[in-house]
Amino acid sequence: MNSRGLKTQSNFFVRISLLIADIIVLLAGHYAVQLVFSVLCSWQIEFPPKTMFFYLYAVFYVVISVGMDMYVLEVTSRSNIVSNLLLISVVSFLSSVIFNSFLFDNPSSLYVVIFVALSVLLTTSLKLAINRILIQVVERTNLLVIEAQGVDNAFVRKIKYSSLGHFNSWYTQIDVESQAAIEEFLKGEFTQYDCIFIAQGIPEHVKKRLISEAINAGKEIFISPTLFDIKITKYELMQFDDILSFRIKPLTISKGHAIAKRIMDIVLSLVGIVLSLPITIPCAIAIKLTSLGPVFYWQKRVTKDGALFNVYKFRTMVKDAEKISGPVLAADNDPRITKVGKFLRRTRIDEIPQLINVLKGDMSIVGPRPERPEFVRRYCEEIEDYDKRHSFKAGLTGFAQVYARYDTTAKDKLLYDLIYIHDYSFWLDIKIIILTIKTLFSKRSAAGVKVNEWDSPPKKEVSV
C-alpha cells in the first residue's frame, strides 16, 4: 500500500491535467506579480513571460513534482501536502537561483521573493482544495488483513493500524490447516470486505484460493512480496518451439547504467563535499572540543559482491564505545551517544563523510545501505536471499531509507533493496535523492532500534 494515500486514479490524462493545472497556477503567480509591479513601478506586462527565472522555476517544480508522485489523485493528510510542496518549492527555488546566476541575467530580487511566496500559496491552496474534494467523494473501502493462526500477529497489526487513515481495516487469523475453517471464512467474514491483504504466513495453496475467490468477487488484493514475487513482476515472454516461458533476468546492473551511475556519483559527491564544508568544519571542531577521541570514525562495511571497505562517519559515540559490548546496533536513548552525536545523528550530518567513500568508488549515492560484516553473516544465515542485495554497490541513501524506517526489520528492508535493484533506472535514483531530502526532516527515520529488538525475538500475542 502507498503510505502517502489511497490512489484513486493514476491514468495519463489525470497526471497531465494536474501538471497543466500547476503550470497555470505558476503562470497566474507570475502575472499577478507583474500586474502589481506594473501599477507600482510601471513595469510592462510580458506575453509570454520573458523572465528566465520563471521558466527555470517552473521546469524544476514540475520535474521534482513528477519525481515525488504529486500528479496522482490520492487522499492524503494536509500536513503531508504542505510539507511536500514546501520541499518542492525550496529545492526548485535554490536550483533556479543557481542555474540562473550562471546562465542568465539576475531578475529583480523582489520579483523572485514575491513570485515564489505567491506560487507556494497558490499551489498549496490548489492541492488542499483537490484533496478536500477527494475526501468528500471517495469512500473509504473495507480492508481485511489475513494471517495464519499461530503466527505472531505483530505484522498484521502493523498493516491494520498503518492503513486506518485510508481504509476501514481489521485483521483476522485463520486456521490454514482446516479446510472446513477456510470454507467457513470464505463464506462469512471474507465477504464483508472490499479488499484483502494476504500476509506472508499464509501457505501457497491457501493464498491461491484466497486470490482466486477475491478476483471472482471483484476485490482489490494486496500481497506482502517475497523474492519470487519481485522477480516475476517484470518478465519477458519467450517461446521454445510451442512452449511458452517467462524469461527472468538476473539482479544485476548493465554496463551502460553502471557508467552513468558512476558519473553521477562523482559529480554529486564532489559538489556535496564542497557545499557541506561550512557545516562539516564547525561540526568537526565541536566533536573535538566536547569529547575525547578522533573526529572521524570508520568501520568495516560490506558493499558490492561482498567486498569490505572502511566507511567514514563523524564520531557520535564515546571513544571505544564497543570495546565491552561488541558490535551492537544503536538503541533509543543509547548512553554511548554524545550530546553532539545526538544532534549529528538527528540531522544526518554524521553521514556526510561518506561522500568520500562515494568519490573513492566504495559506495554509490543511491543503493542498499552497507551493513557490518558481523550483521551480514548473521542475516545471511537467518534471511533467505539476503546476499542478493550485494549485487549493487552500497549507497549513501536508498529505497529502504525513503520508504521504510530506521527500525524496520532487516528482512523487510531486504524487500525494499531487492525492489530497487530489480527496478533500477537513472530516474529512480533521482527520485530517491529528492525523497531523501524530505526524509532528512523525519524524526522517526533517525530513531534507534528498540532495546530488545536485536537481542531477542518479539513476544507473541494472543490472536483475537
> What is the C-alpha end-to-end distance of the chain, expressed in Å?
24
Q: 160 and 104: one domain?
A: no
In a domain, 273, yes or no: yes
Question: In the numeric block, which cell numbers belong to residue 55?
Answer: 521558466
What average pLDDT does the segment 27-48 reach? 78
In a domain, 460, yes or no: no
* pLDDT at site 451: 40
* pLDDT at site 332: 56
Last residue of a domain, one of 137, 168, 188: 137
Indicate the number of domains in the chain.
3
**Confidence class for position 80, pLDDT limits 50, 70, 90:** confident
Alpha-carbon distance of 393 to 258, in angstroms, equals: 10
In a domain, 239, yes or no: no
pLDDT in tens, 190-205: 999 988 888 888 888 8
For the cut 90, the answer to whether the pLDDT of residue 354 exceeds it is yes
Alpha-carbon distance of 359 to 269, in angstroms, equals: 6
What average pLDDT does the segment 306-312 reach? 94
What average pLDDT does the segment 247-261 reach? 81
For the cut 80, the answer to whether the pLDDT of residue 211 exceeds it is yes
Share of the chain above pLDDT 90, in %: 28
Alpha-carbon distance of 181 to 196, in angstroms, equals: 18
For the cut 60, the answer to whether the pLDDT of residue 405 exceeds it is yes
For the cut 90, the answer to whether the pLDDT of residue 371 exceeds it is yes
Alpha-carbon distance of 213 to 189, in angstroms, equals: 13
Q: 149 and 113: one domain?
A: no
Q: Report pTM.
A: 0.66
* pLDDT at site 243: 67
> What residue numbers bound the domain in which 389 lies?
255-446
Q: 263 and 409: one domain?
A: yes
Residues 126-156 as b/e (b if ≥16 CB within 10 A, e otherwise) read bbeeebeebeeeeebeebbbbbbeebebebb
**Confidence class for position 372, pLDDT limits 50, 70, 90:** very high
174, 175, 179, 298 from 184: Cα distances, Å: 10, 10, 9, 58
For the cut 60, the answer to whether the pLDDT of residue 452 exceeds it is no
Q: 410 and 284: one domain?
A: yes
**Confidence class for position 160, pLDDT limits 50, 70, 90:** confident
143, 145, 214, 224, 329 from 173: Cα distances, Å: 14, 8, 17, 16, 32
Element (H, E) at 47: none
